[in-house]
Amino acid sequence: MDQVHYRTARTRAQDALIQARRMDNASWKCCDMTFDKAPGIYRHMATQHADIIEDHTEQELDLIRSKKSRPAAEDSIQRGDEFKGRRAEKYGSDPISLHCSCDPALGTVILFYAYLPINNPLALAHLHKAWSLDLNLCGKVKVATEGINATLAGASEAIRQYLDLLTVQPEFTPLQLARPAKSLSVEETTIFDKKRYDFFKPTSGCGHVFGGVISIKVVDEICPLGAPELSVYHDPSNKPGKLPPRDFHNKLKELEGREDVVVLDVRNYYESHLGHFPGAVMPPIRKFSSFRDYVDKNKEQLSGKTILSYCTGGIRCEKATSYLRKSLESEANGKETEVLMLEGGIHNYLEWIKHEGKPKDSLWLGRNYIFDARQSLGLEDPSQASQGAIISFCQQCQVPSARYVKCSGFGCHRLIVACADCSPTPAKPAGDSGICCCNDCLEMGNQLRNYSQLEPAEQASIPRVKRGICACERKRRAELGVE
């Protein structure tokens, strides 16, 4: 019996045992303890009842061996249904504020991606589910045939174990990030540790930065540009087009002010609002899949130029630069279009500034937005960096602030910069910031909230209520050139 069948049987056994402990009020009870979130009961079962899970796993294996397992359940597992669907509940979204008393120095958050062929994404997803339970990891993982995109948090030792488990998998051996079996010299150890550090981009933090939960998905693209046919690792210009932080920094200084140069921020508008490089073009896109439309509408402004692109950790630039090369190759009117990217993204640029460069010489303005409850990172000692000041302002009172809250409009997840005085209660996962992005949003949200609270029979008797487009969104679309 191979490992895939074993993991299938273990997952099925564990899910059945946990379902048996479910209460009517969407909580679970075991060992005289009540768990109101699924990760809690999963961790409890994995740590306190491993023997029971193993016994039931053997029973499930017997069913698989004898081919007596339910066809519908088998089909569901083979399709990977548990690795599809939304992370958050309907009308909900990921948490953007941190509510815990953990010492961040005891934990590690990693952010990494790899474009490389994955033969069996579903098997890798099952592995990540098992690892997350065994090591108590939280975060987000996307797996596709084109690679992996992940950001995970846990105890520092657990993260170290995860890295050792991942890097010995056959698909990941070409990265040469597995810990060598032989002893390394001091110099070799330093080189190896730096290579791992640059790739996995560790920072301090606990699992609460992801709300204490994990999301594992099997997807078509690990970074959804809407072009799964675009192969990054078959782009011959991909590797030569990557500039390490030092080279990107020098290139920005060398080409500053030239009309044939475009510094292009490929992130979303709410990210670039908190921080960006000087003179950057910042498309008002709300999601990365809109980047293609932006490029198609602005070929004339981009073709024949030297394009210096950047994003948070590099993954979006991988796809963006490949798409730019493909789209602009016949649009340059005799002028060569050179497309470059910041290797390792803003994160590695700031790390280079901290450890090898000089903070006072940093070209980065503001904060680097990240997709967890910490919201943003930056040069943590602004007194050493003339460019370290906050560049965004509270929507209400206009004082400098890099603190995001969610719009209180029901069903609206727009991020609003608000200082602690104007929105004193941090935006909890289901909380209320007390601020709306605009009056349109407030009115539409109230109508949608009232409709969603009706019984199904009542909803069926009246016209369906949907969210419209608020004034803020209309303005953004107009700037993007989309009606």
Residues known to be catalytic: 311
The three-class DSSP label of residue 25 is: coil
Q: With 0-12 CB in 10 A as exposed, 13-18 as middle and 19+ as buried, what is 249?
A: buried
User: Coil, helix or strand for 208?
Assistant: helix
Residue in 214, 289, 216, 238 with CA at minimum distance from that of residue 116: 238
Residues 6+ apart with CB under 8 A from 278: 252, 256, 263, 363, 365
Read off the tokens for 429: 């996962």
Residue 147 near residue 113, CB atoms below 8 Å: yes
Of the chain, the end-to-end C-alpha distance in Å amounts to: 56
Cβ-count burial of 386 within 10 angstroms (0-12 exposed, 13-18 middle, 19+ buried)? exposed
Task: Determine the Cα–Cα distance for residues 187 and 200; give it in Å rounded to an integer.
Answer: 20
Q: Count CB atoms within 10 A of the CB of residue 439.
A: 11
Burial 64-93 (b: 16+ CB within 10 A, else e): beeeebeeebeeebeebebbeeeeeeeeeb
What token pair was written down for 456?
């199904």
Q: Which two tokens stand for residue 251?
A: 């290139």
| Beta pairing class for 214-218 and 261-265 | unpaired
Q: Give the closest residue to 213 by CA, choosing from 86, 304, 299.
A: 86
Residue with tokens 């107009």: 478
Q: Are 469 and 414 in contact (CB under 8 A)?
A: no
**What pairing do the DSSP bridges indicate for beta strands 147-155 and 107-115?**
antiparallel
Closest CA to 99 of 440, 427, 417: 427
